[in-house]
Structure 1
Amino acid sequence: MVAPIFILVFIGALLKRTRVVDESFINTASRLVFMLCLPILVFFSISQTDIKAVFNPATLAFSGISVTLTFLALTGWSRWKNYPPEDHGAFVQGGFRSNYGIIGLAMSHNLFGQSGLGQASVVLALVIPLFNILSIVALSSSQNGAQQWRHTALHILKNPLIIATLLALPCSAMGWSPPEVISQTGHALGSMTLPLALLTIGASLNLKDLRSSSHLTLHASAAKLIWMPLVFTPLAWAAGFDGEAVAILFIMLGCPTAAASFVMAKSMGANAKMAASIILVTTLGSVISLSSGIYLLRLWGLI
């Protein structure tokens, strides 16, 4: 159930290598996914899900705590090692920020169907603002002045995924269903999201960047793909979460670093080259780490 996701990623890389798609297509498709398709998918996933049935405060709390503790641990490590300010922000952000909106939703849907997509969307509603806020804190060491903070905070409030979530929650609570024509149109657009997003992720990969990967890139990638899921997934199981919740938490923790981390690192004066390398290494590495983790969870009878 995990393989089709990464097959689409590699198809995207092949399409770029054979010049079937170019940078213009990648930029346009990425913007289409972020501005329209993904918000519509999230909106319909949440609005047509019984929030009372999938809303689990414990899962949300565990998600927030695990991400925050990872952020604090990476920050402490970076300060102890005295990394330069521009490296500090890229390292910390790359080590905790997940591409959960794409890879996570796709895996949750493949594993658990509409129920998994609904639960993952609720978790996404929490982690999107959390990722952005903690990223601002990490990257703020790379620049000065409150103006950049206000600018980035405004972008968070204008984030289409956050807006879609805020609109969807009351619709779900009231049991509102859109007219059939709107529903069909929305589902058609939403169904484009994951295949198109995965193809653009693959097409965006530049294997030449692997040559310039530094030890900081590898350390951040290890934190993202290995330490986060290895530390917190067993804790979630020990805390009594059911198999589906454990799997969704594992996916959230072990997803590769979000592509948005490069944009934020560049805009706030951090080491954008390192940010791009972390995205590449974690995307390729997650093929093994996520597949192996899901296999082990199934082997142990957790899912």
Structure 2
Amino acid sequence: MLPPVNFLQLLLPDFALILLGYLVCRYTALNRTVWEQVESLVYFFLFPVLLFQSIVRSPLDLGATSSLIGAGLLLGLSGIGLSYLLPHLPGLGRHIDRREHAGAAQVAFRFNSYIALALSERVAGTQGLLLIAVLIGVCVPLFNVGAVWPMARHSDTGFLRALVRNPLIIATALGLAANFAGFRVPVWLEPTVSRVGGASIPLGLMAAGAGMRLAHLAQQKALTTGVLAIRHLLLPLVAAGLAWAFSLDAAQATVLLAFSALPTASSCYVLASRMGYNGAYVAGLVTLSTLLGLASLPFALGFLRGLVVSA
């Protein structure tokens, strides 16, 4: 039986850190000059360490979780495809600025890894942690490529050049290679690596708050509605269909549904900002996505899970 989860308690720390970053940047001497350096630290060092450690932490049993992997990859491709499609939709597309879309498209399919790990353990125990580790390992490379491609393409910097120089993709590739090679972070080094990677979450969220300009959301209503509807409504529905189609067991279906309804990644802001896009707008989307998780997670893990598991 699914244990009760207080979603407000789970998401409140992330929202509070975003708000704290906003207030500190606006009303103290720690202004944008300081936070630009924080963004660089998170983007080039702290978050890559977190990604690497998350992927190498548990062995990837591709055989035992092949159905979940297939469903997760199809879910990811659905999110990427839907987000890329937004500017081409009749009626909606003409209201979407193509450059703003290039920076914001990632919000529709990327996810908050920290909340993913915490939530999976709450709803499915140690098995949930293993299952979400598998999804992180196979989906993060896809999602990072999907996030970088429209920005590199729109800015004419060259997709392959942007890809091989992106620290998040480098960390993901190294993590997968290390996992398949059987490498694990030595026990004596693990506390230090955990603290370095863990620092990326609060600093990344505070940097998103420091860069936030909520007025930008009102200027891009169609794009805002589109990416957040994909992230918090359409992807949970797709996940429910995939869980049924792949005949996932209760634990795998639960983890996939939780995965589909998560708030977007806090690093969306840092990636957009560092690649020369409208980071303030993406920071606003990260904030709204964190709030919308209070609705999408109960929807996915309550109503949709009930339909899938009883089917």
Normalising by structure 2, we get a TM-score of: 0.73
Verify: 1:154 aligned to 2:154, yes or no.
no
Q: Please give the residue correspondences for 1:268-279 in structure 2 after superposition, counting only pairs within 5 Å.
A: 274-279=281-286
2:117 to 84, 102, 105: 105
- Using the TM superposition, give the Cα deviation of residue 187 of structure 1 relative to its aligned residue in structure 2, in angstroms: 4.5
Residue equivalent to 1:284: 291
- The one-letter code matched in structure 2 to 1:119 is L
Verify: 1:62 aligned to 2:71, yes or no.
yes
1:135 to 143, 147, 150: 147
User: RMSD over aligned Cα, in angstroms?
Assistant: 3.9
Verify: 1:246 aligned to 2:253, yes or no.
yes
- Using the TM superposition, give the Cα deviation of residue 159 of structure 1 relative to its aligned residue in structure 2, in angstroms: 3.1
Task: For residues 96-141 of structure 1, give each alpha carbon's deviation from its aligned partner in whole angstroms, at most 9, with x where no partner exists.
Answer: x212433323322343344333322221122222123223443455
- The one-letter code matched in structure 2 to 1:78 is P
Q: Please give the residue correspondences for 1:177-188 in structure 2 after superposition, counting only pairs within 5 Å.
A: 178=186, 180-188=187-195
Verify: 1:236 aligned to 2:243, yes or no.
yes
Distance of 2:275 and 2:42 partners within structure 1: 24
Task: For residues 171-210 of structure 1, give each alpha carbon's deviation from its aligned partner in whole angstroms, at most 9, with x where no partner exists.
Answer: 26xxx672x4224444455565656656666666554544
- Using the TM superposition, give the Cα deviation of residue 245 of structure 1 relative to its aligned residue in structure 2, in angstroms: 1.7
- Aligned CA distance change for structure 1 residues 107 and 197 (closer, same or farther; 3 Å): farther
Aligned residues: 296
Distance of 1:182 and 1:232 partners within structure 2: 37
- Using the TM superposition, give the Cα deviation of residue 241 of structure 1 relative to its aligned residue in structure 2, in angstroms: 0.7
Residue ranges of structure 2 left out of the alignment (5+ in a row): none
Distance of 1:54 and 1:119 partners within structure 2: 12
Residue equivalent to 1:94: 107
Residue equivalent to 1:122: 134
- The one-letter code matched in structure 1 to 2:118 is A
Residue equivalent to 1:71: 80
Verify: 1:296 aligned to 2:308, yes or no.
no
Verify: 1:164 aligned to 2:175, yes or no.
yes
Normalising by structure 1, we get a TM-score of: 0.75
Task: For residues 226-281 of structure 1, give each alpha carbon's deviation from its aligned partner in whole angstroms, at most 9, with x where no partner exists.
Answer: 01112222331343112222222223322233344445555667666654443333
Residue ranges of structure 1 left out of the alignment (5+ in a row): none
Query: Is the CA contact (8 Å cut-off) linking 1:12 and 1:200 kept in structure 2?
Result: no
- Any idea what SS the aligned residue of 2:286 has? helix
Query: Is the CA contact (8 Å cut-off) linking 1:11 and 1:202 kept in structure 2?
Result: no
Query: Is the CA contact (8 Å cut-off) linking 1:265 and 1:271 kept in structure 2?
Result: yes
- Using the TM superposition, give the Cα deviation of residue 8 of structure 1 relative to its aligned residue in structure 2, in angstroms: 0.7
Residue equivalent to 1:217: 224
Residue equivalent to 1:10: 15
Distance of 1:35 and 1:110 partners within structure 2: 31
Query: Is the CA contact (8 Å cut-off) linking 2:104 and 2:282 kept in structure 1?
Result: yes
- The one-letter code matched in structure 2 to 1:218 is T
- Any idea what SS the aligned residue of 1:255 has? coil
- The one-letter code matched in structure 2 to 1:132 is N
- Any idea what SS the aligned residue of 1:52 has? coil
- The one-letter code matched in structure 1 to 2:287 is L
Residue equivalent to 1:51: 60
- Any idea what SS the aligned residue of 2:235 has? helix
Query: Is the CA contact (8 Å cut-off) linking 2:263 and 2:290 kept in structure 1?
Result: yes
Query: Is the CA contact (8 Å cut-off) linking 1:54 and 1:119 kept in structure 2?
Result: no
- Aligned CA distance change for structure 1 residues 205 and 265 (closer, same or farther; 3 Å): closer
